[in-house]
Amino acid sequence: MLSLNALAFAIAIYATITYIFKLAAFRKLGLKTKINLEHSTRRNLFFIISPDLWWATKFKDRIYYAAPDASKSNRRKFVIENNHLNLWVSFAFCALTLSTAYFHPTSYCLELMLSIAVIRFISRCIEILYAFVKDAFQPSNAPTATNLASNERIKLAAKSYVETYFLSAPPYLILTTLLDPFAAMSLSLNVGTLTNVGLAFADPSKALEANIVFIQVFTTLSLVVFSFAMYLARPQIDQKQDDN
């Protein structure tokens, strides 16, 4: 279904688009500083598996160097803006990809969009997983890098949960018969609510590709089980951090 040429082109396009959107979230802060592309080998590996996570890490570092004294407040604003922007980007791209599949199912444009959709699906889910699981397992009395309040964390988790539905539907097109956009959206709803996951395996010829649904399953679990439980049980230390 997806050619190597389309995937290679999609990787270059998506890495550039991701930078543009992260830059847009950064510019909302009104900060000016050059971005440092040098980083540890460990974090450079993020770019291979998740351009979203890599650029987010870069811009958070950039925020710190631009204004160290206000870094926590600025990172908080960046995280909220990035979360909000990603929700609308995922919604718009989902609508565009499913519409293209419906009206132009055999076009190269759709193949390229599907390639971008698969890359974005994996990249963004990794960013969500990394952020929320890391935060969920952080000691309750440990200082945070963002000073996000508990209610703000819950809002972020809720928006990310909704986003996974729009994020997942486009790549699920490759699991459907004749690139059916309605079946893809239905499959996203099934997997996202952890119900009828087996529908993804209805076509035996898609056995290998069907495994991508578990990326959404794990992301959903991290948001629902880890994040919500941890945020609701987390002691209210936000005021103490603000005082410090």
pLDDT (tens digit, 9 = 90+) per residue, 124-141? Answer: 999 998 888 887 777 666
Residues 197-223, mean pLDDT to the nearest whole number: 63
Alpha-carbon distance 52 to 127, whole Å?
6
Check: CB of residue 20 under 8 Å from CB of residue 88.
no
Highest mean pLDDT among 83-97, 136-150, 208-222: 83-97
pLDDT band, very low/low/confident/very high, at 237 (cuts 50, 70, 90): very low
Query: What pLDDT shows up at residue 183?
Result: 83
Query: What pLDDT shows up at residue 16?
Result: 93
Q: Which residue has the higher pLDDT, 222 or 92?
A: 92
Tell me how far CA of residue 199 lies from CA of 88, 168, 171, 189, in angstroms: 27, 15, 15, 11
Range of the domain at 73: 4-243
For residue 181, count CB atoms less than 10 angstroms from its CB and return exposed for 0-12, middle for 13-18, buried for 19 or more. buried
Look up residue 180 and give its two tokens. 């059916």
Query: What pLDDT shows up at residue 196?
Result: 58
Check: CB of residue 163 under 8 Å from CB of residue 84.
no
Provide the mean pLDDT of the chain.
80
Alpha-carbon distance 123 to 145, whole Å?
22
Render the burial of 49-60: b for 16+ CB within 10 Å, e for the rest. Answer: ebbbbbbbbbbb
pLDDT band, very low/low/confident/very high, at 114 (cuts 50, 70, 90): very high
Highest mean pLDDT among 106-110, 173-177, 178-182, 196-200: 106-110
Query: What pLDDT shows up at residue 188?
Result: 83
Look up residue 173 and give its two tokens. 């097109």
Nearest to 142 by CA among 52, 27, 240, 61: 240
47 pLDDT above the threshold of 60: yes
89 pLDDT above the threshold of 90: yes
Look up residue 242 and give its two tokens. 């603000």
pLDDT band, very low/low/confident/very high, at 93 (cuts 50, 70, 90): very high
Check: CB of residue 67 under 8 Å from CB of residue 31.
yes
112 pLDDT above the threshold of 90: yes
For residue 9, count CB atoms less than 10 angstroms from its CB and return exposed for 0-12, middle for 13-18, buried for 19 or more. middle
96 pLDDT above the threshold of 70: yes
Number of domains in the chain: 1
What ranges in the chain are assigned the alpha helix state H?
4-27, 41-49, 51-66, 71-103, 108-136, 150-168, 181-192, 213-221, 229-233, 238-243
Look up residue 30 and give its two tokens. 């009104």
19 pLDDT above the threshold of 50: yes
Q: Which residue has the higher pLDDT, 212 or 168?
A: 168
Query: What pLDDT shows up at residue 187?
Result: 80
pLDDT band, very low/low/confident/very high, at 20 (cuts 50, 70, 90): very high
Alpha-carbon distance 149 to 240, whole Å?
11
Query: What pLDDT shows up at residue 240?
Result: 47
